[in-house]
Amino acid sequence: MKTGRRSVLKKMFASAVGLTGLGLAANAKNGFSKEKEAMNVTNFQNAPLFSGCTKFGNLIFVAGKGAHVAPFEIKAHTEIVLKALEDELIKAGSSMEKVLKVNVYLNDIADYQGMNEAYKGHFGNQPPVRTTVAVAKGGVPGDSLVEMDCIAYI
């Protein structure tokens, strides 16, 4: 009995692996690259520290953007951050309408409503999924009240 189940499981596994292989082959044929492309690399002490965005296949991963300027008001900072995300997406060949996921990091959860008011409408009629958290002690790096990163497609 166990031998019969094992052979069925082996056949199912082989089939799944075969389909995955076919999918990868089709993606390769359609120009999908498994190579990552780092863009807008920031160097620190003559060594790459992080990228403003990274492309992988048809996906774009945009690094966290903050607003490190006055006025220190959540709606203004949210608008600045969203503009920075949009600029990065456009440079990479995408747009706000193609964003799949956004992470929002608030310095203070009391700013949630103000951030939401400034956030709405920036991603078209089909907004991306979103996670919003208030960061722990120490807050968002720098003087920003909010930081956001995102994942989009080309």
Q: What is the pLDDT of residue 139?
A: 85
User: How confident is the model at residue 85, as a pLDDT?
Assistant: 98
pLDDT at 20: 39
pLDDT along the chain (154 residues), means of 10: 51 46 46 73 73 94 94 95 97 97 97 98 96 91 94 97
Q: Would you state the pLDDT for residue 4?
A: 53
pTM of the model: 0.74
Q: Concatenated DSSP letters for the chain?
A: -HHHHHHHHHHHHHHHHHHHHHHHHHHHHTT----EEEEEEEEETTEEEEEEEEEETTEEEEEEEE--SS---HHHHHHHHHHHHHHHHHHTT--GGGEEEEEEEES-GGGHHHHHHHHTTTTTTSPPEEEEEE--TT-SSTT-SEEEEEEEE-
Instruction: Note the pLDDT of residue 13.
Output: 46
Beta bridge partners of 132: 104
Distances (CA, A) of 85 to 21, 111, 115, 147: 34, 20, 15, 10
